[in-house]
Every structure is written in C-alpha cells, then in structure tokens.
Amino acid sequence: MNAADVAAAVLWTGVVAYAVFGGADFGAGFWDLVAGGDTRGERPRALIDRAIGPVWEANHVWLVFCLVMLWTAFPPAFVAVMTTLTVPLSLAVVGIVLRGAGFAFRKASVAIGRRRVFGASFAISSLLTPFAMGTVAGGIASGRVPVGNAAGSRWTSWINPTSVLGGALAVAVCAYLAAVLLVGDARRLHDADLEEYFARRAVVSGAVTGVVALVGIAVLAADARRVFDGLTGRALPLVVLSAACGGWTLVAVARRRRAPALSTRVTAALAVAAVVAAWGVAQYPDVLVGSLSLDQAAAPKVTLTWLVAIAAVAVIVLVPSFALLYTLLQRDALDDAATSH
C-alpha cells in the first residue's frame, strides 16, 4: 500500500457511502414519484418526507467529498472523467438542482398547487440523477474514458451497454434500498398499512434488481471485460456477499418476518456497499480502465499525505456527528416542525 492506494481507498469509501446514503435518498424520491395522486400518495409521501428530511443534505455531501478527493488526489482522472462524460454529468447537475430545491421548497410550501410542482421536480430528478450517475460509472468501468481534456467520445462514452446497465441498476438498487429502509420507518411508527405498502414494493424492486444484475453479468462479460474478470476473480467474495445480503433481505421482507428492523436495513445497505466495493476492487489498480493507473494519476506524496490527514480528521469529526444525527432520527428526536409556526 503506497500513498496513492490509501488515497484511493479513502476516495472509494466516499463512493460507497454516496451509493448507500445518497442511494437510499434517491430511492425515496423514486417512491415519491410513483406514489400516485394527492390523496392516494399522501401518506407514503409524508413518511418519505419524515424519513429523509433531516438527513438528505448530509447524505449528498458525499458526492462533493468524492469530487474533491478525485481532483486533488488524481487530477488527470478527474479531468478525463469530467470532460469526456460532460453530458451525463451535466444531466446529473440538473437533477441535483431540481431535486434539492424541489424538496426544500415543497417542505416550506403549503399551497397544494405549488407543493405539486416542487414535489414533481423533486421526484422526477430522483430518477434522472442516479440514472445519469449510473451511466457515468458504466463509461468508466467499460474503459471508455481516455486520458485528456475531452479525449473520449461525447456520446458513446455513456450511451453503451455497460452504461445503460449502470443506469438501470442504479435506479433499481436505489428503489430497493429505500423501500427496505421505509419498511423499517413505517414499523417504527407502528403504521401497519405503510409497512405492508413498502414491503410489497421492496419485494418487487428487489426482484427487478436481481433480474437486472443477472442480465448485467452477460453485459459486462461482453462489454467490460476487464471489470468482468475482476468481478469474477479477485472481487468475487464481495459479489457473493452482495448477492447473499440482497437475497436474504428480499426473503426476509417477502416473508414479512418480524425480524428486528435493523437487520434488514443493515443487510440491504451491505448489499449495495459490497457491490460498489467489488467494482473498485475489480478495477484496481486502474483509475481509468485500460488507460490510467492510480500511480500514474496520483498527485505528489505531500498532497496525498495532507489529504489522508484531513480524511483522518474527518473520521474523528464526522463519525460521531453522523452517529448523533442518525441516533436522534431513530429516536424520533428530530421531528418535523417545518409547517407549524
């Protein structure tokens, strides 16, 4: 392990965290989107609001963290990704603006028409952003991002089999993860109807995710050979762990097992974390598959050392802070007071 490996591990921890926390958040938006009209969708939407209100901003800072880590520790990789994949990344930006503003504005609004507009903006962009991010992941994983300022294709870098797989998988995984978490939230609030509501959706989205993942094996074998070899070789234990966790969660939710809510939440999150980690392990030591290794892209050691030192401070500051936030949330100490007063 040299300094570049440590920095890469820190960066990838951020990517995994964004996939899990941001993913759950996007998925909640997906269920908001498909919750139906004002009357039918009112209760699930209220639960979604309550579940992500206090945490959504913190969940999305992971993305900024990843960007900063990438441009500081591996500048040429940052430049290549941002310039070749400009189109899907710009779409993601549009989604991020509409989503954040839509959610915050809806929360602060009372008039039903306005709430509908802001809500739609939040929900649709919850679909757009993870899909765009998934295509970006596919472009990198299939080796379509060469070194340089916009050296790759503007279109085929993200419109290709692996990218489409990435986009679909991202949306499916987010929806699945969020549904499982919302089952737990509904149970905590002793709302049996909503528990059943989200349990059904968790099962459906879990099954869809499984199918997409199985199709994905064939897609990767044909279109992203390097990563496929890695996933079936070095990273296989993580892939198996992910499949096992995802499958176990699905069965547990499907059988409406009154297992402690925590356990399905943890296994669902673990399933996502393991598959993203597996991608990283499969691609190692390349940062851009087939064209740039971590060592070639890495900033000088002094910069990496400072960066890792700041990451260590971040762990010391952020772990207790996050623990506080999520604990308060789980204890219902963070109640929504936004519409009163």
Partner 1 sequence: MFALSDLLPAREQMALTLGVHIILVPFGVALPVIVLLAHYRGLRRGDEVAMLLARRWSKVMAVLFAVGAVTGTVLSFEMGLLWPGLFDRFGAVIGIPFAIEGLAFFTEAIFVGVYLYGWKRMHPWAHFASGVPIVVAGVVGSFAVVSANGWMNHPSGFSLDAQGRVVGIDPMAAMFNRATLYEVPHMLLASYMVAGFVVASVYAVGMLRGRRDRYHRLAFGLAFGVAALAAPLQVVVGDVAARGVFRDQPSKFAAMELTTVTGPDQAMHLGGVLVGGRVVGAISLPGLDSLLVGFDRSTVITGLDRIPADERAPANIVHLAFQVMVAIGTALVALSAWFGWSWWRRRRIPSSRWFLRAAALAGAASVVALEAGWITTEVGRQPWIAYRVLRTRDAVTAAGGVWVSYLVIVVLYTALVVGTIAVLRSMARRWRLEEGAQERTGDRPDPEPVVAP
Residues numbered 79 to 98 that lie near partner 1 (CB under 8 A) are: 79, 81-84, 86-87, 89-90, 92-94, 96-98
Is 37 or 113 the residue whose CB approaches partner 1 more closely? 113
Give the three-state DSSP class for 110: coil
Residue 325 sits in the site that holds partner 1 (CB under 8 A): yes
Report, in Å, the least distance between residue 44 CB and partner 1.
Answer: 20
| Choices 22-30, 235-243, 254-262, 318-326; region in contact with partner 1 by CB under 8 A | 318-326
Residue 113 sits in the site that holds partner 1 (CB under 8 A): no
Tokens of residue 57, six digits: 């901003």
Give the three-state DSSP class for 69: helix
CA distance 35 to 30: 9
Is 133 or 219 the residue whose CB approaches partner 1 more closely? 133
Give the three-state DSSP class for 270: helix
| Choices 148-156, 204-212, 251-259, 279-287; region in contact with partner 1 by CB under 8 A | 148-156
55-84 residues in contact with partner 1 (CB under 8 A) are 55, 57-58, 60-61, 63-65, 67-69, 71-73, 75-76, 78-79, 81-84
CA atoms within 13 A of residue 45's CA, in its CB half-sphere:
20
Please state, in angstroms and as integers, the Cα–Cα distance from residue 193 to each residue in 136, 182, 308, following that order. Answer: 38, 12, 47
Residue 117 · residue 147 · CB < 8 Å: no
Task: Tell me which residue of 177, 205, 184, 193 sits closest to 42, measured CA to CA.
Answer: 193
Is 72 or 296 the residue whose CB approaches partner 1 more closely? 72
Residue 46 sits in the site that holds partner 1 (CB under 8 A): no
Residue 32, classified by CB atoms within 10 Å of its CB into exposed (0-12), middle (13-18) or buried (19+), is: buried
Report, in Å, the least distance between residue 49 CB and partner 1.
Answer: 11
Report, in Å, the least distance between residue 285 CB and partner 1.
Answer: 19
Residue 294 · residue 4 · CB < 8 Å: yes
CA 159 to centroid of chain Cα atoms: 20
Is 33 or 66 the residue whose CB approaches partner 1 more closely? 66
Number of residues that bind partner 1 (CB under 8 A): 75
Strand partners, 286: 293
Residue 3 · residue 305 · CB < 8 Å: yes
Report, in Å, the least distance between residue 89 CB and partner 1.
Answer: 6
Residue 296 sits in the site that holds partner 1 (CB under 8 A): no
Residue 156 sits in the site that holds partner 1 (CB under 8 A): no
Is 163 or 205 the residue whose CB approaches partner 1 more closely? 163
Residue 17 sits in the site that holds partner 1 (CB under 8 A): no
Using DSSP bridges, classify how beta strands 292-293 and 286-288 pair: parallel, antiparallel or unpaired: antiparallel
Residue 51 sits in the site that holds partner 1 (CB under 8 A): no
